A and B are shown apart, each in its own frame.
Chain A
Amino acid sequence: MVGLIVETCVKIALALGVLMTGAAYLVLVERWIAAWVQDRIGPNRVGIPLTNIRLFGLGQPIADGLKLIFKEEYVPGHVDRVIYNLGPILTFVAAVAVYAVVPLGQVDLGIAGWRPIDLTIVPGFDAALVYLFAANGAAVYGVIAGGWASRNKYSLFGALRAAAQLIAYEIPLSLTLLVVALYAGSLRLDQMVLQQAQTGVWNIVLHPLTFVVFFVAVTAEAARLPFDLPETEQELVGGFHTEYSGMRLMTYLVSEFLHMVTAAVLIVLLFLGGWHFWGLTGSEPVAGIGGALLRIVVFAVKVLLVIWFFMMMRWSWPRFRFDQLMRLAWKVLIPWGMVPLVILVWWYSGGEEALGMGGGRGLAVLAAINWAALIAVWIVTARLSPPSYDNRPRQDLVQLARESEQAIPARVRPTAKVWRPSFDNEE
């Protein structure tokens, strides 16, 4: 029992340390990529303090962190103190709690009498997937709390948008998860990774349509561009964190970043084979020390590649309008998410036998069906509803209104109120 507690504490400390440092340095990477995409150089000055050694700007995260810690933490007088303080904490806890169930395989240290150590903080959690998405979805409570307690219109708008967006994208996300869980026959993440490792076929090959839906939905969940509607600077100042400063703001920003990392981790775990790479990591659940380190490296490289793509995405495509965002969720992604689910249910409830398939050939046919479904669904969507559309008032209706207004006799026609600027608050 004591051993278990010590082991868990060590794992938590390691995970938190890696996550915090990782998030800090990912902020630097994000700034670099932003700079490079804009033909700038990016942060390259801050190195070792009190020297002229620059180290390509690797001291920047420390300087940023120190700046935010020592900044004045201004709390406006009108806020609801308790909820205002609770907001960032809730978001942060939710963002970190997710990492309790991220599986990295098992390691056998080779010491007699020791059982293989599971590189997961909570090993063998049967409902890992459910827990993970519950924790991930709980982050929105912190956002809503912060936006509500700020007693500021912009904050509230940001929080409302966050709530609407997260609820909308939670549905396609759950649909895709059903597919993945059904295919793995388990809700355990390590089981899903193990299945991909043992068959050698990553889920992205087998379930492309699921992957597309999942990728878009998880980006929207993490509120990354082009789906960062809760905090659009041009419309909402800072969105839900308009009234926050100092450490509280940093907590929000770090949790937001961790959400992106979570999204990348999920994509890698569920669709890109987790720690598995062909001919490199093996496919047994337990590995030796070298093998385990190699698996962690493979996993980290995959996650970093996905994060890099997230960062590129930020500058590649313009932000969606809010109605387009909602439209994408309800009218495109939810129907799309149902297609692979129906296919997989049909496959397991008789389709496989009906086609006379079994074993490896069966997987190839399933993959072919799913790819065909992706192409078909994409074409149908493009035909039925173009991604951009005119949201101006319909001109035929405007014309009708104008004509009907003219039909009313002038003496009873309500005169249009002319708007004039008022300067009441200027004495």
Chain B
Amino acid sequence: MKPDSSEIRWVDEPPLTPAERSYLPLFIEGLTTTLRHLVSPKITVQFPEERHEFPDPIIYRGVHRLNRDEQGRVKCVACFLCATACPAHCIDIVAAPSPWPDREKYPVVFNIDMLRCIFCGMCEEACPVDAIELTSLYDLSGKSREEMIFDKEKLLSVYDQTKDLEPPRWMRERDVVEDQKTDSASGEN
């Protein structure tokens, strides 16, 4: 679009008041703002000693975990939807026929390359059985690239580590349903 295009609507700046034209009020305003912030309380979190506190850890997108079901088995059914949805192609799944009667397949290998992952949470949204979820763990580090490829065991251990603080979605929804049941039951009584 050229600068003289008729599609451009030109808006005039509001006229300056005499005080503004002298530049002094703006000058003082800028200085008082910086002076106020100079002495105001600081918001820095001194990381290794202090840790950031999440208002809601459930909605944070940090390290992934693979959820377990009630019997402690991996919940994943190896449907590859997460790997398909992943824009960074960081999920690598090898499926095998399931030894359990309630599903056809299960993952033998489930690797996530944390160095490729962009923590967008699309895998979590794609998952039909709420098996993969993003936790609020964010201090992720390693000494080699191999170390940063998280395998199935590691992802399951992340679940064991975080399940108490951040219950998986199916558990949360079940609790909500049960709460409603008890509520309606108490209402009847």
Contacts and interface: CB of A to CB of B under 8 A. Distances in A.
Interface stretch (B19-27, B64-72, B162-170): B19-27
Given A41-B44, A316-B33, A382 B38 contact: no
Contacts of A416: 2
Contacts of B55: none
Contact of B38 (A312, A388, A390): A312
Interface residues of A, number: 28
Interface stretch (A1-9, A31-39, A152-160): A31-39
Interface stretch (B3-11, B90-98, B115-123, B129-137): B3-11
Contacts of A38: 37
Contacts of B16: 386, 388
B42 interface: yes
Given A393-B3, A393-B4, A402-B6, A316 B30 contact: yes
Nearest to B33: A316
Nearest to A402: B4
A8 B13 CA distance: 60
A346 B183 CA distance: 93
Interface in B18-52: 18, 20-24, 26-27, 30-31, 33-35, 37-44, 46
A354 interface: no
A401 interface: yes
A317 B29 CA distance: 9
Contacts of B41: 39
A40 interface: yes
A315 interface: yes
B2 to A, nearest CB: 8
B21 A386 contact: yes
Nearest to B10: A395
B43 A315 contact: no
A315 B34 contact: yes
Contacts of B44: 39-41
Interface string B74-102: 00000000000000000000000000000
Contact of B37 (A39, A378, A398): A39
A36 B33 contact: no
Contact of B21 (A41, A312, A315, A382): A382
Nearest to A316: B30
A392 B31 CA distance: 29
A37 B35 CA distance: 7
Interface of A: 33, 36-41, 312-313, 315-317, 378-379, 381-383, 386-388, 390, 392-393, 395, 398, 401-402, 416
29 contacts: A36-B42, A37-B34, A37-B38, A39-B37, A39-B40, A39-B41, A39-B42, A39-B43, A39-B44, A40-B42, A40-B43, A41-B44, A312-B34, A315-B34, A379-B22, A382-B18, A382-B21, A383-B18, A386-B21, A387-B23, A388-B13, A388-B16, A390-B12, A392-B10, A393-B4, A395-B10, A401-B4, A402-B6, A416-B2
